[in-house]
Amino acid sequence: MTIRKDNKGSSGRSYRGEGGLTSKVKKKRGLSASSRRWIERQINDPYVTEARSKGYRSRAALKLEQIDQKHGLFKPGQSVLDLGSAPGGWLQVTAERIGLNQGKGKLAGIDLLDVDPVSGTLIIKGDINDDEKLAELVAHIDGKADWVISDMAADTTGHRPTDHLRTTALLEMALDTALRVLVPGGGFLSKCFQGGAEIELLTVMRQSFDQVKHIKPDASRSESVEIYVLCTGFKGVPDDYLFAD
Ligand SMILES: C[S@@+](CC[C@H](N)C(=O)[O-])C[C@H]1O[C@@H](n2cnc3c(N)ncnc32)[C@H](O)[C@@H]1O
């Protein structure tokens, strides 16, 4: 568990980088064609450049920034749980929006991986399925959240149906967490990979919230099946809903 009062990572990394012209990665022994393509895409991606220029740790930060700009998610002083935080881009955006640096709001995040500190934020290394870790997170935000946001994604296997089921299981855990901790009127934002298995979860969302929208921010790659579900106006847990053990 780490709470730091400044904005630097423990590694002292600045996260700022430089943008660039279209670049090619030279053929090198040991680098597969797909790795080379991935690196070229990163180097030439304008959102990677924009994220770096804004000091964000991840390209993903821009997705949340765009969603917040368009849908007006956060207000100063709110309490937020961020699930699947590494490397911390969403935490950076949220901290700024809820005014953590001015002593407003509460923010806690969890990831299987290490996350460098974000000023005033509780970051736990662990699995969202671990009840003790969840209890620690929830205690930090005094037991209630205005928002639960989740960008959790499972490592891909390359087998699309398997990847879809694994990511949908994470969506289910994120929704289950939201239903436990949201205040009335609260909101839930989560990554969702379309493929069929998510339909039952969408039914629970529609029963629990006033509004459920599918959104695709510009920074989400068009070729990806990734979308985000944005649920607002938490009404309460459906009568027949069974919480995960
Ligand atoms: C796309 S990344 C999140 C990027 C992050 N929103 C950002 O802006 O930097 C997805 C993360 O979900 C995390 N994750 C996957 N399964 C998880 C689980 N069961 N509990 C906690 N985190 C998990 C992964 O470790 C990974 O770091």
- DSSP secondary structure string for all residues of 22-83: ---PPP-TT--HHHHHHHHHHHH-HHHHHHHHTT-S-THHHHHHHHHHHH----TT-EEEEE
For ligand 1, pick from 133, 151, 189 the residue to mutate: most ligand atoms within 8 Å of CB: 151
**Residue 21's pLDDT is what?**
36
Q: Domain extents for the chain?
A: 57-234
Task: Cite the active site residues.
Answer: 191
Is the full-model pTM beyond 0.75? Answer: yes
Atom number of ligand 1 nearest to Cα 89: 8
| Residue 191, beta-bridge partner list | 228
**Residue 73's pLDDT is what?**
98
Other C-beta atoms lying within 10 Å of the C-beta of residue 195: 15
Helix or strand holding residue 18 (H, E) = none
Tokens coding 243: 């919480």
Tens-digit pLDDT string for the chain (245 aa): 444 333 333 332 232 332 333 455 555 567 777 777 767 666 678 889 999 999 999 999 999 999 999 999 999 999 999 999 999 999 999 999 999 999 999 999 999 999 999 999 999 999 999 999 999 999 999 999 999 999 999 998 888 889 889 999 999 999 999 999 999 999 999 999 888 888 999 999 999 999 999 999 999 888 888 899 999 999 999 999 999 87
Instruction: Report CA(150)–ligand 1 centroid distance (Å).
Output: 8
CATH of 57-234, one of 3.40.50.150, 3.40.50.1100, 3.30.70.260, 1.20.120.1200: 3.40.50.150
Instruction: Report CA(83)–ligand 1 centroid distance (Å).
Output: 7
For ligand 1, pick from 85, 175, 220 the residue to mutate: most ligand atoms within 8 Å of CB: 85
Instruction: Report CA(232)–ligand 1 centroid distance (Å).
Output: 22
Helix or strand holding residue 181 (H, E) = helix 160-181
Give the residues surrounding ligand 1 with Cβ less than 6 Å away. Answer: 57-58, 60-61, 84-90, 110-113, 127-129, 151-154, 170
Instruction: Report CA(112)–ligand 1 centroid distance (Å).
Output: 7
**Residue 2's pLDDT is what?**
41
